[in-house]
Structure 1
């Protein structure tokens, strides 16, 4: 039996920050994903083993909430543990902490255990559950929300899927969807607000050469700027992903 919690330390690099020298939301997702992969490697269920067996963990959902984004050159610790296994679904929790252990952010995620060739979910082996261990504690009381399916989005942007967007499963990495989402947020909001929390659900994979249509529209949310987002393949009706972003006013330094 391995330790249920796994920790990984990061230092925030210059290429991971925005104009305020804060780690970007996409950088935060990279830290989370890297820590999840490191946990699997540590317990002997890493990428190469899974690939040799024709299986993979595919991300289905993110929910992330930040108290503060880490700064350039700051060292942080990401802590992760699996909290639930059910058939072919696994839930994984995260804390993002500063070097003194103060919580900067938290996240929960849902993963699907998949047969790569058949692109079908597989029941998670009992061996895997025992190897990872299980800690039922979650970081949110209500893990996921119902996301909007937009009828009349106000902003549209298009993107080409590039070689650099493709991950080890040979489709677009989940963090790229968040890049597309953020490009649809109004400039005034992006510049003068902080992305306090966001959710993403991934519905369908997409590959190299596709043309992506990202759209968004504002929704009512207790006075905080909040946006619903959709990601589609151009000229297709089905959704690749749905998302929601919630923002708070940035406090300017005096």
Structure 2
């Protein structure tokens, strides 16, 4: 079952050069998936549960600009044990410009741990064949720099940890790559950033690829992944 929603990209969602910030690219995709969840999920079954994002693979074929009219479609492609797998497609003028693969984890708020997805929930989504699948990644291991990044109150969401989309702002701080110059994003949320005044960011560059990670003073890894820069 597919869920589609149309948007006009408002100027306040764009960076200083008029391109959609990747933070809001994620936010718009999240909104469509949350809308679908409200439509198909049984409220009683889900009242003490919530979806947690585990990872993203996002292929940005063409950057999105302010005032662009876009159509975002999402659908479930599989559900196994704790995990739900989704595809996203973004179109502009009937052309696919973004493809994404996202992994969600179902979390029990009472038991405070991941739980198996109920059969009723899995059935409600009516999974479809994948159009974009997760890549196999190799990450750099020579992290030579260390940058201290302040956690802002604006980064914290209603679950009292750094919002998943806000990691794009943190990523910009350590890579210095503009939103429109990124053609691929991989991000894995290993641990929530919670009750932190700052986080430490590192990156490892190899040609047009940048591996990155966010850690604390004790070297605990919170998030890691890689981006690929567009040939500009």
Paired position in structure 2 for 1:80: 74
Paired position in structure 1 for 2:99: 106
The alignment covers a number of residue pairs equal to 232
Paired position in structure 1 for 2:116: 123
- Of residues 165, 172, 179, the one that matches 2:162 is 172
Determine the C-alpha separation between the residues in 2 that align with 1:79 and 1:97.
8
- The normalised TM-score by structure 1 is 0.84
- Of residues 62, 74, 89, the one that matches 2:56 is 62
Paired position in structure 1 for 2:37: 40
Q: Which runs of 5+ in 2 are unaligned?
A: none
Paired position in structure 1 for 2:221: 239
Question: Is the CA contact 1:193–1:249 (under 8 Å) kept in the aligned structure 2?
Answer: no
Alpha carbon RMSD of aligned pairs, Å? 2.1
> What is the Cα deviation at residue 138 of structure 1?
2.9
Q: Which runs of 5+ in 1 are unaligned?
A: none
Paired position in structure 2 for 1:249: 231
The 3-state SS of whatever aligns with 2:56 is strand
> What is the Cα deviation at residue 193 of structure 1?
7.0
> What is the Cα deviation at residue 169 of structure 1?
2.5
- The normalised TM-score by structure 2 is 0.91
The 3-state SS of whatever aligns with 1:28 is helix
Paired position in structure 2 for 1:226: 209
Paired position in structure 2 for 1:136: 129
> What is the Cα deviation at residue 208 of structure 1?
3.6
The answer to whether the aligner puts 1:24 opposite 2:21 as a matched pair is yes
> What is the Cα deviation at residue 163 of structure 1?
2.6
